[in-house]
Chain A
Amino acid sequence: MLVIFRWIRNQAHPLLFVLLLISATTQIFRYHFYQHSIYFGQVLGAHRKIDQLRADVKAYFNLKQVNQQLIAENTLLKQQLNWNLTYNSPKRDSAYQDEKTGNLVKYDYIQARVIRNSVQNQNNFIILDRGFKDGIKRHMSVVSPMGIVGVVVESAEHYSLVMSVLNSKFEITPYFYDLKTSQGVISWNGEDPTTVDLEEVNRFVKVKNGMKLFTSNYSLLFPAGIPIGTIISSSSNLKSNFHKIKVKLATDFGQLDVVTVIKNIHQKELDALNNAIPTSNEENNNDRNN
């Protein structure tokens, strides 16, 4: 016993270091990677004031970019309006008529500000200063004036949590404007926050650097035609059937400030149809019953 005490007394400095390091690493593993989604409630309560202050400081540093973004956003909104008008036939009685303008529209746009953003983690999340009181619900898409940003995964009363494109769980199929085709899956590898990987594109597809990628009309979350990014490098070899493509994101996640949350007016119809798709197990059961 005495030997143990003597040993502890001699090794007090390394032991204190190990104790403090364990305490710190416990915090990292407990909170860091998914802290926003798991402890969303606490984040809103405890960090709200600090977040606001941080957002204000950040807004001051980004005023010039914000002005440019707003101008670009106005242009984008005008384009979207035109696109909506031509897309919806006036004969379609299900089309939504905007009370103020009388235009037939398919999407509603909600402006929001980013109050917390990260780019350095493996799974990045964004917090917006709008919640379900402002009409924001799960699975709504979020875009910036530059391009896609992410998808709403949780909404509280006044704030909402967005899964960023810079999240290992985020995936989207792009539309190649030059090739008029939708192929492959875009995902982030967790390294450079300005580029993402595009995989599962058939190697016979003629991919070139500089090609623009947009959201496809197969996406249930994003409207078609929103910029994703530009191809900066592609390679293929005979061993694999697929290209290996790097895409530079249109959105600069380091400068994110004002974003638009897009609400599909027909989302309930889409969800109902999506739920009605039978899974393979159900089909098998039905076959057996018949």
Chain B
Amino acid sequence: MIEITRYILSALLLAIVQTFILQEVNIAWWIKPMPYVMLFLSIPISVNKYGILIGAFFFGMTIDALGGSMGMHTAACVSVVYIKYHIDNYFLDENSMQLQGLSSIHEDYKGWQWYYVYVFSIALIHHLIFFTFDYFRWSALFTILWVSIASACVSVFFIQIFRILMSKR
């Protein structure tokens, strides 16, 4: 119960940071970081797959309601959680993670290179879905790719900062 409350609180905090700070600070038109993806990375992989899908839906709706983007974050969150479930099934071994005492993805699992590739891939998938709905036309295909890659890099950077801040606490 305490764990669930902790995740709900961190979800709210991430939603507020996203809508009130990151969305308002204009770094460059092609950089729109969305580090709240870290919420899905920090949730244990053994968690109920239906629960996390519905949770992601409401989390996306919260960000959309606060930011006025109506459905865009919701679609991206739901899709990334669904795709992440299949990626985890294919690439992660839950038993060996449990032996290492890990509940979610961590540098200790397969080394930091593998960890960063995983985090960047999840962030990139999320950003690609978001910007596809945002631009929503074929002519902007390369813009979508470029903006997604640039924003995903910055998101991974922010995710690391948040992780450092949380681990010190």
Residues on A close to B: CB < 8 A?
Answer: 12-14, 16-17, 20-21, 23-28, 30-32, 35, 43, 47, 50-51, 53-54, 57-58, 61, 116, 119-122, 190-194, 254-255
Contacts and interface: CB of A to CB of B under 8 A. Distances in A.
6 contacts: A13-B53, A16-B50, A32-B69, A54-B24, A254-B26, A255-B26
B29 A32 contact: no
B78 A13 contact: no
Contacts, number: 88
B25 A191 contact: no
Nearest to A36: B68
Nearest to A189: B139
Contact of A119 (B29, B78, B135): B29
B130 to A, nearest CB: 10
Contacts of B68: 35, 43, 47, 50-51, 116
Given A13-B53, A192-B29, A255-B26, A25 B20 contact: no
Given A17-B82, A20-B78, A57-B24, A28 B29 contact: no
A27 B49 contact: no
B127 interface: no
A255 to B, nearest CB: 7
Q: Name, among A13, A28, A47, A190, the residue most crowded by chain B CB atoms within 10 Å (CB to CB).
A: A28
Given A57-B20, A191-B143, A16 B69 contact: no
A191 B139 CA distance: 10
Contacts of B70: 27-28, 30-32, 35
Nearest to A117: B24
A47 B134 CA distance: 21
B140 interface: yes
A116 B53 CA distance: 31
Given A54-B20, A58-B24, A61-B24, A254 B71 contact: no
B161 interface: no
Given A191-B140, A254-B26, A25 B50 contact: no
Contact of A21 (B19, B49, B66, B78): B78
A244 to B, nearest CB: 16
Contact of A27 (B19, B32, B74, B135): B74
B75 interface: yes
Contacts of A14: 82
A178 B69 CA distance: 42
A117 to B, nearest CB: 10
B104 interface: no
A246 B32 CA distance: 24
Contacts of A254: 26, 29
A194 B29 contact: yes
B97 interface: no
Interface string B71-90: 11011001100100100000
Contact of A12 (B50, B60, B78, B85): B50
A163 to B, nearest CB: 17
Contact of B71 (A28, A54, A190, A192): A28
B71 A31 contact: yes
A57 B66 CA distance: 13
A24 B74 CA distance: 6
A255 B28 CA distance: 11
B133 interface: yes
Contacts of B29: 119, 192-194, 254
